[in-house]
Structure 1
């Protein structure tokens, strides 16, 4: 769905995006992760033909961009650098203009399509007030509605939950997962680790304009080789695990022992036989935050 090779954008002596090789596959929920200023938005703008690359190539839906923009963009829903809208018009009027500006928008069904799309993004109750009176969260929802109006094959979103409260973030997350189940590929640019971790199937990490990680999320969050033993009997467990116990953690999940052990079943049997109350025993997995921090080191 998206493939780039050596994609580079320089502004004078500053290289914003450096030799980017993206691989976004059909059916992905692809999380494009990076700190503010890492080059994410510049990349998205190049993919959509809004900014010309200094060098390298970009393909979207199998066609070269920006050469094929006229054919490709009607199949792509996008929200970049915040939602665009005419502040003096209502949300419905803004969507009507979007629908009328491109192919495939039959006038006879426009009203119904707009109503359905507003309902999906949580703006079904919206009245005729101008967009200038909307909250930031409402504007984000309207921007997403604009991106969804033509039921795109590919959805490209830049920080789509900006300005939303926790309930709104949850609703948008569920909507994006539903759209993906219906066949829409989602490319989501964000600096929020939690957002990427809860939504995405594959992840690319950008640091200082370079792609430093690109892999399935499940692979990135693979096992560390340690087992987390949850037990109230910390000292007894500690005395039994000399040599394999690497760390004792106390946090909101309660105390747990982190043990380097290839056979969790044997470990459990050994602890229980010695009188240690084991309330849970699970393989430890890497946190996405650790992966990102490690990969992003200069």
Structure 2
């Protein structure tokens, strides 16, 4: 999915402001942002559910919403919570969705397969009004998977799931991705996105403030942290090292070299390793007007510490 200057205004309110999104084939793309940042509006424009004020969007290589008839049958989506007929069972709901959808029906066997795949019992005849929020979320995902989509678009797919359910959902999505499905997931669970996604986009105030591969965003900073009971000796052996609580931080591209210098100098070493930033650090820096995206904050490394 790609967008070019995608913008949506509601009267005087600009909900999405000139967004250039790039979700590539094979990605597990994490779309991040606070409530009200414009994530769901962006997703709805991508799927042709809301018309853009300006700019354009491409999904599976075709322009939306003009090509919705050929694109949407190849896309599975769960946006703004799952919908279901409350008096019908999960299986009956999927059969109804299957009959109403475009193209050939998936059939009963496929319905049983996707229910089991998302952790629901295909033999359960209870009406969905008795389902928990997590069960309804699983049913929504089953509906999205029914036609074996090339692209899966999910808005907060782990909403209502317990920790075990979140883990199962992550494993299922990663398995689908390994089998060739591109996944675009909107979420506020940064730790979950960090474990799952290959690429990340961050929306703040309707603007895309950051977009890059996760490996690039969380790569070593060029700083090395040192834990040692001999801080003064270590500082003498590592010119420019700065204290950061119980640790020292030194600008160096090579943790092994730092270790070697300390050991040869007779310094006792408890721990040496590269300084990395978590996805939470990256997102907070990108969405804080006073911070520079991609920089290592001074309070992370100690005042005056060098940057790599």
- TM-score, with length taken from structure 1: 0.91
Consecutive unaligned residues of structure 1, counting only runs of 5 or more, are 251-255
Against the structure 1 CA distance between its residues 142 and 126, is the aligned structure 2 distance closer, same or farther, given a 3 Å change threshold? Answer: farther
CA distance in 1, matches of 2:151, 2:230: 51
Deviations 1:137-165 (A, max 9, x none): 11111111111111100000000001111
CA distance in 2, matches of 1:5, 1:223: 31
CA distance in 1, matches of 2:19, 2:267: 52
Consecutive unaligned residues of structure 2, counting only runs of 5 or more, are 290-308
CA distance in 1, matches of 2:161, 2:77: 18
Aligned to 1:153: 150
CA distance in 1, matches of 2:164, 2:262: 42
Aligned to 1:294: 285
How far apart are residue 188 of structure 1 and its match? 0.6
Q: Is 2:262 aligned against 1:281?
A: no
CA distance in 2, matches of 1:239, 1:297: 33
Match of 1:220 among 217, 225, 248: 217
Match of 1:112 among 109, 113, 116: 109
How far apart are residue 237 of structure 1 and its match? 5.3
How far apart are residue 242 of structure 1 and its match? 6.2
Q: Is 2:255 aligned against 1:258?
A: no
Aligned to 1:95: 94
How far apart are residue 111 of structure 1 and its match? 1.4
- Aligned-residue CA RMSD (Å): 1.8
CA distance in 2, matches of 1:114, 1:195: 28
Against the structure 1 CA distance between its residues 239 and 204, is the aligned structure 2 distance closer, same or farther, given a 3 Å change threshold? Answer: closer
Aligned to 1:168: 165
Q: For this pair of structures, how many residues does the alignment match?
A: 289
Aligned to 1:13: 12
Aligned to 1:47: 46
Against the structure 1 CA distance between its residues 237 and 206, is the aligned structure 2 distance closer, same or farther, given a 3 Å change threshold? Answer: farther
Aligned to 1:121: 118
Deviations 1:185-237 (A, max 9, x none): 00011122112211110111100000111111111112211112244x25455
Aligned to 2:259: 268
